Structure 1
């Protein structure tokens, strides 16, 4: 039994029966907890627990299903257990509806009240009133120092063109921020919960682009979400570039081809 599991039991004031490791904890330790009174829960350790708790609560307030935050402190985040069958395909339409509700919630500017991180990689969430500047200065350019020089120059060249390629002031929609099928728990045809957010306010197309980096949402998803803005296809590789760069930085050269593909599709 880990220290995180024991600490979660202490926070909840319950007697722990067993703790089981869960898959998917690339950047944090995640366990399923079973208590003597029948409660099942999840404990996460290794992240910015209070920030993630606030993000989950913001998603829930916007009408997106999330696990309930049962307890949280500077060491662990304890969440309610969510039953799911693991298949997103039957729930594409419902996911489109969920994201439409989420993106209808808007903020006063682009960014978030707290910075965040993907494991050792910091995410600068300082707010900015101009969206192309936010995307360049808070997302793309901070990763340049860690890149090979040829890639770095292409990123810098792209960043210098964003004023002409991205909308200056799109609605500042509430974003999940790390939207792929592994962070969408489904049960049958419904989304049971969105998990592992990296929220901020920004162009809603960012979530849609991230979702299409590793997944292929079908026509049912787009019917549930609603029409896309003109020019979305041209912006897609620009928005997919940041998560591709994050994967390259965190997980190595196996993701370089993914980055190269986004740059090529963006014409850089």
Structure 2
């Protein structure tokens, strides 16, 4: 019997090598992730589950902006092999770099909101169909899709909020490329302070969405905002609206422990 997992073996085969060592990596609550070393000395991170061909396109799109992302090494049936990066540094020392690189990512623009492919966080679908109106995209693709899954009271509040979005969110002439799931666990920091964005769920939209996600579990300091650049008027009022989507995803994936967060954000949004 092999001492390696099927995922490690699949990654090695995808890279055309022989597996020498394998280490399970943390943070893969929605997919299996291992770091492998091949007999010829090459290292890679191998992910299973999800839609690896879509994630590969997202990583390449991030890198094409000049923002940092691991290189895609190979994509196979249910398997993605990417560059293995050093992650021995601390986010607390890297906030200016994170702000500057996020601003770089957001320089990539489209004329519409959305993405070519739908995506998913485990069983929670991410609908990305292109839309000309940003308030309509956020209301339909990020809020109302949750109505069948959250109970009558929350559903009514989400419907009321979605109806008000044309007066609360801007129409974007040139939506920005978003990471789409930019919490602290998806920012790698090397010992030298270099940052890299991993595990994307990309689409084009309002750059404030990525900042809202960063604020879900971390508190970016002033140095982050100074490096990112000027924020638009109304930023603070929009933040609870943008944090609602990841909160709703957590409620659906991990249960009622996140209901209080959803309710609080709805109250902060005034509904």
Using the size of structure 2 for normalisation, the TM-score is 0.96
Indicate the residue corresponding to 1:9 in structure 2: 12
Please state whether the residue corresponding to 1:160 is helix, strand or coil: helix
Indicate the residue corresponding to 2:131 in structure 1: 128
Residue 250 of structure 2 corresponds to residue 247 of structure 1: yes
Indicate the residue corresponding to 1:210 in structure 2: 213
CA contact (8 A) 2:111 2:173 kept: no
CA contact (8 A) 1:21 1:32 kept: yes
Gaps of 5+ in 1: none
Structure 1 residue ranges, 4+ long, deviating more than 6 angstroms after superposition: none
Please state whether the residue corresponding to 1:6 is helix, strand or coil: helix
CA contact (8 A) 2:99 2:225 kept: yes
Hey, what's the Cα distance between the residues in 2 that align with 1:191 and 1:105? 21
Residue 31 of structure 2 corresponds to residue 42 of structure 1: no
Residue 93 of structure 2 corresponds to residue 90 of structure 1: yes
Indicate the residue corresponding to 1:70 in structure 2: 73
- The alpha-carbon distance between structure 1 residues 191 and 265, as it changes in their structure 2 partners (threshold 3 A), is farther
Q: How does 1:201-240 map to 2 (within 5 A)?
A: 201-240=204-243
Indicate the residue corresponding to 2:197 in structure 1: 194
What is the deviation of 1:187?
Answer: 1.9
- The alpha-carbon distance between structure 1 residues 253 and 140, as it changes in their structure 2 partners (threshold 3 A), is same
Q: CA RMSD in A?
A: 1.1
Moved more, 234-243 or 183-192: 183-192
Count residues in correspondence. Answer: 268
Indicate the residue corresponding to 1:178 in structure 2: 181
What is the deviation of 1:169?
Answer: 2.2
CA contact (8 A) 2:237 2:269 kept: yes
Moved more, 82-91 or 154-163: 82-91
CA contact (8 A) 2:89 2:191 kept: no
CA contact (8 A) 1:91 1:188 kept: no
Hey, what's the Cα distance between the residues in 2 that align with 1:75 and 1:168? 37
CA offsets 1:57-112 (integer angstroms, 9 cap, x no match): 00000111111111102310001100012521100000000011100110121000
CA contact (8 A) 1:102 1:174 kept: yes
Residue among 24, 29, 36 paired with 2:27: 24
